[in-house]
Chains A and B, each alone.
Chain A
Amino acid sequence: MKILREALAPLTALAILLVLWETVARVFSVSPIVLPPPSAIGLEASRAADTLLSGALSTGRSALLGFGLSTAVGVLAAIVLSSSRVLERALYPYALFLQMVPIIAIAPVLVVWFGHGARAVAVSSFIVSVFPVIANTHTGMRSVDPALRDMFRLYGARRVATLWKLELPASLPHLFTGLRVASGLSVVGAIVGEWVAGVVEGDAGLGILVLAANRQGNTARVFAAVLAASMLGLMLFGAVSLTGERMLRRWHPSASGS
């Protein structure tokens, strides 16, 4: 019931927007190549459901792989960066560099390195989504209560014990903030990766579908594919948020009340 009540406002807004959109498209006879009405997009989506679904699966696989890489590499990088001030100064600018890489420009190089297909796409997804994981986890590990560090030192805790029993658990809330941002970005990175490195035959992802439909002037299908990509990102985001809430429920204010 609570979910229904909370969903009421955004759903109403959506309904109003769709009605307006449909009306404008019909009344002014806007060309379907420029702006297809929602009804046409819905029709196209159901007609091409199989293609869209397999496209979403393909993109989803790459995004999930990229997201997994981001999680593993991001946390490891944050641990390394937090382990010493010298390493932090030496390496952090390059971590930041990952954030600045114009992915569309470097994607052709990914094709050279990894060939066309899912591997290059996953790496593109990884590059786009890894930095928020590094930055947030690093912030989390840096903001561990100094008194708790003192306590661990007083009790003769080894480096590994301090990492495992203090620093990592303490940075979980930050880590999950990074993961939530990364989840959406990983889908964006996968789509962009597909534009450059995706394969058309057999295993076409949503990015390829968008390109192909655009070339054919099938704007309704472009919208349908974009919608599918957004839903993919939302699903990943939802899964990450839920996991975070479960893990933090007992102790962190960000997850209380659920």
Chain B
Amino acid sequence: MRMSGLRRTFPGGVPVLQGMDLDVGAGSFVALVGPSGCGKSTLLRLVAGLDQPNAGTLTFSPPLDHTPGARTPIAYVFQDAHLLPWRSVLDNVALPLELAGVPAAERHASARAMLTQVGLGDATARYPAQLSGGMRMRVSLARALVTRPRLLLLDEPFAALDELTRHRLDDQLLALWKELGMTVLFVTHSLSEAAYLAERVVVLSRRPARVMLDRHLDLPSERLPALRADPGFAREMGLLFHALEQGDAA
């Protein structure tokens, strides 16, 4: 995925992005970090096609097949789970396939398999109101992955969860990424989460967002919880923090 000169100005003339260039390799895990309101979410919305840039181009190679009705190659996980409260867990996860016209038996089988993969195989008949915040987020993740997307966009997905639950979900996300091999673009304002998850971290400045640092982390590819206490991890965090501070002061 390549974006060049991406520009987006909100009505009223507020510039959010002014010429953003970024290349993301297929199958990589990239984290976008920046202060609140810097345009990270706008960037994701542009990539997802939910918003149109005022200038600049966004290209995918190979090109994404985006005809309506086809299974969408892009999935989006929001800050909150955003499940349909009137649907069971299984029907929530099956929704993207349902909208693409996949027959009931097939979409339920896929949804069931994906739920098992996120550790919710026995909660299929429950309703969102009966689940904890962490479980709801896992359902949301399963719903995003059920279409086997090539590109997974996550917008501060675990920000509302307690730290322990967040760490568990981080590990689960990494495992899913290794297994399914999609490209991941992960927006967060947590440096430690970015450093723990991503191969590469892009630090953005305050609005209008510019790239302050674009770094391939010098960390082992196998991420284990012990890494959080590793000196190498602390060094990377220091670099990221410095860039974030500069971007906020600029």
A residues with a Cβ closer than 8 A to B are: 145, 147-148, 150-158, 161, 165-166, 169-170, 172, 250-253, 256
CB–CB A154/B50 < 8 A? yes
Complex Cα distance, B85 from A152, in Å, reads 15
Complex Cα distance, B50 from A80, in Å, reads 24
B10-32 interface bits toward A, Cβ cutoff 8 Å, 1 = contact, 0 = none: 00000000000000000000000
CB–CB A155/B78 < 8 A? no
When distances are taken between beta carbons in the complex, the residues of chain A under 8 Å from B147 are 155
Among A151, A156, A252, contact of B85 (Cβ-Cβ < 8 Å): A252
Residues from 118 to 146 in B contacting A, C-beta threshold 8 Å: 127-129
- Count, chain B residues at interface, CB 8 A: 27
In this assembly, does B63 line the interface, its C-beta being within 8 Å of a C-beta of chain A? no
CB–CB B84/A169 < 8 A? yes
When distances are taken between beta carbons in the complex, the residues of chain A under 8 Å from B80 are 147
Residues from 180 to 219 in B contacting A, C-beta threshold 8 Å: none
Among A145, A153, A156, A256, contact of B82 (Cβ-Cβ < 8 Å): A145
Complex Cα distance, B92 from A151, in Å, reads 12
In this assembly, does B49 line the interface, its C-beta being within 8 Å of a C-beta of chain A? yes
When distances are taken between beta carbons in the complex, the residues of chain B under 8 Å from A172 are 86
When distances are taken between beta carbons in the complex, the residues of chain A under 8 Å from B82 are 145, 147-148, 151
When distances are taken between beta carbons in the complex, the residues of chain A under 8 Å from B104 are none
Q: How far is the CB of A128 from chain B (nearest CB, A)?
A: 31
CB–CB B48/A154 < 8 A? yes
Which secondary structure characterizes the binding site on chain A? Answer: helix
When distances are taken between beta carbons in the complex, the residues of chain A under 8 Å from B127 are 250-251
Q: Which residue of B lies closest to A148 (CB)?
A: B82
Q: Which 4 A-B pairs have the closest CB atoms?
A: A156-B68, A251-B85, A155-B99, A157-B99
Q: Which residue of A lies closest to B128 (CB)?
A: A251
In this assembly, does B43 line the interface, its C-beta being within 8 Å of a C-beta of chain A? no
Known: A250-B86, A251-B85, A251-B127. A156 touches B70 (CB 8 A): yes
Q: How far is the CB of A137 from chain B (nearest CB, A)?
A: 16
Most B CB within 10 A of own CB, among A148, A150, A155, A169: A155
CB–CB A251/B70 < 8 A? no
When distances are taken between beta carbons in the complex, the residues of chain B under 8 Å from A150 are 45, 48, 50, 76
Q: How far is the CB of A256 from chain B (nearest CB, A)?
A: 8
In this assembly, does B95 line the interface, its C-beta being within 8 Å of a C-beta of chain A? yes
CB–CB B84/A154 < 8 A? no
When distances are taken between beta carbons in the complex, the residues of chain B under 8 Å from A253 are 129
Offer 28 A-B interface pairs, CB within 8 angstroms, sorted by A. A147-B80, A150-B45, A150-B48, A151-B78, A151-B82, A152-B99, A154-B48, A154-B49, A154-B50, A154-B72, A154-B74, A154-B76, A155-B72, A155-B99, A155-B100, A156-B67, A156-B70, A156-B100, A165-B84, A165-B98, A166-B84, A170-B84, A250-B86, A250-B127, A251-B85, A251-B129, A253-B129, A256-B129
